[in-house]
Amino acid sequence: ALPICETDDDVAMCFIRNVQEFDKYIMYLVGRIQAESVVVSNAIQEFYKQYSEDTLASVDPSQPPPLPLQHFLETPINRINQYQLIIKELIRNKARHGKNCALLEQAYAIVSALTRRAENNLHVSLIENYPGTLESLGEPIRQGHFIVWEGAPGARMAWKGHNRHVFLFKNYILICKPKRDTKTETYSYIFKNIMKLTNIDVNDQVEGDDRAFEISPEREDSVRKFLLDLRMFT
């Protein structure tokens, strides 16, 4: 535990040894949006107000009033930010004295990646109609919006491209169609294609566009190609 650490490297090792425990933060961050929508509901707010007045206040009236529920939702996020600030300051101090910062940098990488990993997992949880178990794909590495042309693209006219959300996993790439529910203002992704990375060729030398790349099955007789262009969304 952090309170018993005697050196900077002890602090770093505390994070490194407990790297799997930080997955709990990812699960929390993924579910945080849903939790917030529940917490701000009138029924929950009224219940907590009544609970505070009847139970908490009667325990010790001299204590300050109970904190709002939203405060408790923010606590884990504030803790992550505090961890980052502490480790970053330890790295600065150690580097200033010319000492090795490798362990601290590894610890910082663990903590600073939590938000990005949670965001990737949140987007994966919104995929619909996938013919299998999404968990079997492992943790997503990256995800983002692209304009995608399927088939021999030829002249890439914007109206021929499709708005797609692409997910990169360790062994697979998924292509999904974004869907927006105008009634609830929620988003999801409809599964369209999956390709195993070992079975595709990647061409990142697309003529006239340094922000596009082409993926296609490695069979010579295959005419199916996907051209992904990130430029449209930046």
What's the pLDDT score for residue 233?
Answer: 43
Q: Which residue stretches of the chain have pLDDT < 70?
A: 56-61, 151-160, 207-210, 218-224, 230-234
What's the pLDDT score for residue 203?
Answer: 75
List Cα–Cα distances, 196 to 190, 193, 204, 217, in angstroms.
Answer: 19, 10, 18, 9
What's the pLDDT score for residue 59?
Answer: 67
Cα–Cα dist 145/141, whole Å: 14
Q: CB under 8 Å, gap of 24 or more: what pairs does 30-39 form?
A: 30/118, 30/121, 30/122, 30/125, 32/73, 32/77, 33/122, 35/73, 36/70, 36/73, 39/69, 39/70, 39/73
What's the pLDDT score for residue 234?
Answer: 39
What's the pLDDT score for residue 130?
Answer: 95
What's the pLDDT score for residue 32?
Answer: 84
